[in-house]
A and B are shown apart, each in its own frame.
Chain A
Amino acid sequence: MSDSIDPQKLLDLIALKSRDRGVATMPDLHEACGLDVEAMYVLLGALVEAKRISIEGEYPFEQVRLLNL
């Protein structure tokens, strides 16, 4: 479904998409996983809470950085 994804898979995608520049963009992530916009924000919020990622920049130009690499 487009409303859920294993958080680890999203973290793997963020790692893959941020490999060159250190950050992944929302378009990168959406094209790579087919997750709904709403579900993406919910999951990213949970990963921020868990201190696994940080979000830089403001909507609609957020960029996602992995933490504790």
Chain B
Amino acid sequence: MIDYTQKIPNNVDLSGDKALQRALEHWQPAFLDWWSDTGPAASSALEVYLRTAVSVERDGWANFGYVRMPDYRWGIFLVPRDESRTVLFGDHKNEPAWQEVPGEYRSTLRRIIVTQGDTEPASVEQQRLLGATAPSMYDLRNIFQVNVEEGRHLWAMVYLLHRYFGRDGREEAESLLARRSGHADHPRILTAFNEETRHWLAFFMFAFFTDRDGKFQLASLAESAFDPLARTCRFMLTEEAHHLFVGESGIARAIQRTCEVMHAHNVSDPSQVRAFGVIDLETIQKFVNFHYSVTLDLYGSEVSSNAAMYYTTGLKGRFQEGKLADDHSLTGSDYPVQEVADGQIVVKQVSALTALNARLRDDYIREVQGGLDRWNRVPAKFEIPFRFMLPSIGFHRRIGKFSGHHITPDGRVVTEAEWTGRMRDWLPDASDHAYIESLMGRVVEPGKFANWIAPPVRGINGLPIEFEYVRFN
């Protein structure tokens, strides 16, 4: 169980390591300053009906109650250690999982943890202003829940840095609070985490597409030979799962509302649909195209010697490594990777070891497609012929084999002139953002919802929709 009597709640016996405890208690006020500066704007006095982790066991991990967010008990939670756990893959396969960082992997592992850790505060910063345009009190509470848990995920990575990486780790932990999303001089590490989240459609898309990349990265790290990292990521995944649900259900509710209007008024032209103050399906598709393609870039180059090294050294596994039936070393195996050759997308077999980024990305794509299939049930039930589609894997890419090519959503390699001429048909432009932003009036009366999004069937934790999920006092 988690010890909430400590200044920093934890289940890692922090009080048994006084030097570490002091170091983290020194970092804690800096974290709270960061939260005050860059966390949800104008929120410090609000009482929010939040879920707090009370156990790392799934059958009893959630406790609900009102919390002022600066008083949220951010802590350090790892799933229990399995004494018999062994490394599943790579050169160290079948050896006992590591409880300390091997010296030869120290800098690489630190970099992996810093890169993952950097994404957690970044998303909080990106979403800082969205409380001002919440479509409902229900949704406002949900984004705050996501924000505090992303803050806790930062704590999870900072614990590892402090506990296992000495002075270097402490300095990296300071830097995690110093960088800022979108800052000209001190940006976050990954490009997608420097993009602005301008409105709630972008937030829901981010939670569906980009948080899901986070899930796949965490799932790979949950296979790591470095056991404390694996155990940390396993608990983070349970919280991340809810964030993905917030994203998927948010978009589904927007689609639902649009389809209700289209059906009730027998309209389908986007301009006619927009006249009723909802988001036309074509514009939602453009946001799918944007967020999907930007997120694919987060997987890095399809063919990567770094990815191969992470695997062979046991630092980072494949998605659900333990469920895969092969030799878990991948030497001599191939994997199909797409690239552009002779003006078209072709498939090439490459070493499975160097293609691990592509493989993880392909696992991600399969799951995303499942989400789109569920969204498509909504227009189908209204007998509206529109269906959402994922664009080509090469569409709008800045990193990897498709970078520098102009590829349409249906996978045609085209000239720059054609791309430029058609781009606004495929990606949201300034007028699309302006339209979405025009819908974003704040609705925070209990039980009321903005016109562009359908209410859920019931509220949170079995409570009615009309429940006061956020007290403004």
Contact = CB atoms under 8 A, between A and B. Distances in A.
Contacts of A35: 58, 238, 241
A25 B458 contact: yes
Interface in A24-60: 24-28, 30-38, 41, 57-60
B381 to A, nearest CB: 6
A11 B459 CA distance: 20
Contact of B462 (A12, A17, A30, A61): A17
B256 A28 contact: no
Given A59-B378, A60-B374, A63-B457, A34 B237 contact: yes
Describe A's contact surface by its main secondary structure. Answer: mixed
Given A1-B222, A3-B320, A27-B456, A59 B252 contact: yes
A49 B433 CA distance: 44
B374 A28 contact: no
A57 B61 CA distance: 28
B462 A28 contact: yes
Contacts of A34: 58, 61, 237-239, 241-242
Contact of B58 (A17, A33, A38, A61): A33
Given A31-B62, A58-B381, A60-B252, A38 B460 contact: no
B469 to A, nearest CB: 12
A31 B59 contact: no
A12 B58 CA distance: 12
Contacts of A9: 58-59
B371 interface: yes
Interface residues of A, number: 31
A29 B270 CA distance: 35
B277 to A, nearest CB: 20
B50 to A, nearest CB: 10
B456 A30 contact: no
A28 B460 CA distance: 6
A17 B468 CA distance: 19
A45 B360 CA distance: 26
B205 to A, nearest CB: 15
Contacts of A41: 374
Given A17-B462, A20-B462, A37 B244 contact: yes
B234 interface: yes
A1 B233 CA distance: 9
A31 B252 contact: no
Nearest to B376: A59
B374 A59 contact: yes
B377 A58 contact: yes
A34 B241 CA distance: 6
Given A58-B381, A59-B377, A60-B378, A30 B245 contact: yes
Nearest to B237: A2
B269 interface: no
Interface string B441-467: 000000000000000111111100000
Interface string B304-331: 0000000000000000100000000000
A61 B458 CA distance: 9
A13 interface: yes
Interface in B25-63: 51, 58-59, 61-62
A21 B370 contact: no
A33 B59 CA distance: 7
A15 interface: no
Contacts of A59: 252, 374, 377-378
B11 interface: no
A61 B459 CA distance: 12
A57 B245 CA distance: 18
B457 to A, nearest CB: 4
A49 B248 CA distance: 25
A17 B17 CA distance: 40
Nearest to B245: A30
A21 B462 contact: yes
B297 interface: no
10 contacts: A9-B59, A24-B462, A30-B241, A31-B461, A35-B238, A36-B244, A38-B367, A58-B377, A60-B253, A60-B374
Q: Shortest 4 CB-CB distances between A and B: which pairs?
A: A34-B238, A60-B252, A2-B237, A2-B241
Interface of B: 51, 58-59, 61-62, 215, 219, 222, 234, 237-242, 244-245, 248-249, 252-253, 256, 320, 367, 370-371, 374, 377-378, 381, 456-462
Given A27-B458, A36-B244, 20 more contacts: A2-B237, A2-B240, A12-B59, A17-B462, A25-B457, A26-B245, A28-B458, A28-B461, A31-B51, A31-B460, A34-B61, A34-B238, A34-B241, A34-B242, A37-B371, A38-B370, A59-B374, A60-B249, A63-B457, A63-B458
